[in-house]
Structure 1
Amino acid sequence: MITLPELKTRRLILRALAAGDASAIADLGGRDFEIVRWLTGASWPYVEGEAEDFVNKVVGTNPMETEAPFVVTLGGVFIGVVAVEAPGDLDDLPDLPSLGYWIGRPFQGHGYAGEAVEAVLQWAFDAYGTDAIAARAFEDNTRSRALLRKFGFRPHSMTERFSKALDRKVSNVVVRLERADFEARKEPA
């Protein structure tokens, strides 16, 4: 079984999702419409047991074949999740792993999402041995799209995904990040 490494940034520690994380996912994300509204797989209002079902589905599987979810912690406190889906999640870019993330509202606006995403991207490029990583964001999720642009993700296509919370299909922008572009932004000018 492949296990996810612990990733450390300047302020954060990212670790593998564990069975005990379900209550934090439910409390910080699942019961907050301003988080759930940007996710496709979460219900609104929150359905009791949904976080436990998600954790049980993912924990104990091979993260390279399903999903590699990292819990983002600040001083030991759960603040969000950054995950990489194995290739195959996006019809438009089926050969690429894809990135997804959310940070609880009390922790937004402090740069934690960017810090965590950068660490996971670095890990994912190496772990998947890929030259590109994909992501998607709701077309009207301007904050998420801005963060992806900051890392060099470029628009690739549009798709629609059903949002359980909104109970309708939502337009998503599919973006792609080349490893060379990710590495270039880290080099001094």
Structure 2
Amino acid sequence: MTLLPELKTRRLVLRPLRDEDAAVIAELGGKDFEIVRWLTGASWPYVEGEAETFVSKIIGSDPMQTEAVFAITLGGVFIGAVAIEAAGDLEDLPDLPTLGYWVGRAFQGHGYASEAVEAVLAWAFETYGTEAIAARVFEENTRSRGLLRKFGFKPYAMTEKYAKALDRKVANVVVCLQRSDFEALRVGG
């Protein structure tokens, strides 16, 4: 089984999930509707044990076969998560790994999500040896769409995905980032 590395940015440390992260995931994300409403797999209201089940599933699986999930930490404090799901998650781009992320509301607006996403994208392009990475974002999630656009993700398709917390299908934009675009953006600053 592949072990995830620890990734360091200017302000953050991205590390593999630990059992003790479940309680923080539940409080910071799972019990905050303004976070959960943008995720497809989380329940609302929060279901006790859902975070623990998620963390134990992630810890017990090979991240290269399922999902490589990194805890985003700031000064040792868990503030969110960023993940690369193995190819096969998206019907529209089944051969590409998929990016996903969230940051607790108290930590939004400070560039932490951008910093974490950039580090994980660089790691994923290298580790997966892929020429492109996909993402899926709710059409109405303008902040997240802006973050993806900043890194060079381009619209690829529209799809609908069931969102547990909203109990309905939601319009999603499927976007794709070419390795060459990401590398050019990083070189250009």
TM-score (structure 1 length as normaliser) = 0.99
In the TM superposition, residue 25 of structure 1 has moved relative to its aligned partner by 0.3
Aligned to 1:185, the other structure's residue is in SS state helix
Mapped partners of 1:145, 1:30: distance in 2: 21
Runs of 5+ consecutive residues of structure 1 not aligned to the other structure:
none
- Show the counterpart of 2:187: 187
In the TM superposition, residue 18 of structure 1 has moved relative to its aligned partner by 1.4
Mapped partners of 1:169, 1:143: distance in 2: 20
- Show the counterpart of 2:96: 96
In the TM superposition, residue 20 of structure 1 has moved relative to its aligned partner by 1.4
Runs of 4+ in 1 over 6 A off after TM superposition: none
Mapped partners of 1:39, 1:141: distance in 2: 10
Percent identity, please. 73
- Show the counterpart of 1:127: 127
State the AA in 2 paired with 1:63. Answer: P
Aligned to 2:20, the other structure's residue is in SS state helix
Mapped pair 1:141 → 2:141: yes
Aligned to 1:80, the other structure's residue is in SS state strand
Number of residue pairs the alignment of both structures matches:
189
State the AA in 1 paired with 2:109. Answer: G
- Show the counterpart of 2:171: 171
- Show the counterpart of 1:67: 67
User: What's the Cα RMSD here?
Assistant: 0.8
State the AA in 2 paired with 1:129. Answer: G
CA deviations on 1:135-189 (whole Å, 9 max, x unpaired) are 0100000000000000000000011110000000001000000000000011238
Q: How does 1:12-161 map to 2 (within 5 A)?
A: 12-161=12-161
In the TM superposition, residue 58 of structure 1 has moved relative to its aligned partner by 1.1
Mapped partners of 2:166, 2:129: distance in 1: 36
State the AA in 1 paired with 2:95. Answer: D
Aligned to 1:99, the other structure's residue is in SS state strand
Mapped partners of 2:57, 2:16: distance in 1: 14
- Show the counterpart of 1:8: 8
Aligned to 2:186, the other structure's residue is in SS state coil
Aligned to 1:120, the other structure's residue is in SS state helix
Mapped partners of 1:105, 1:134: distance in 2: 24
Aligned to 1:22, the other structure's residue is in SS state helix
Mapped partners of 1:87, 1:187: distance in 2: 27
Runs of 5+ consecutive residues of structure 2 not aligned to the other structure:
none
Higher mean displacement: 115-124 or 16-25: 16-25
Mapped partners of 1:188, 1:31: distance in 2: 39
In the TM superposition, residue 60 of structure 1 has moved relative to its aligned partner by 2.1
Mapped partners of 1:180, 1:28: distance in 2: 35
Mapped partners of 1:188, 1:128: distance in 2: 24
TM-score (structure 2 length as normaliser) = 0.99
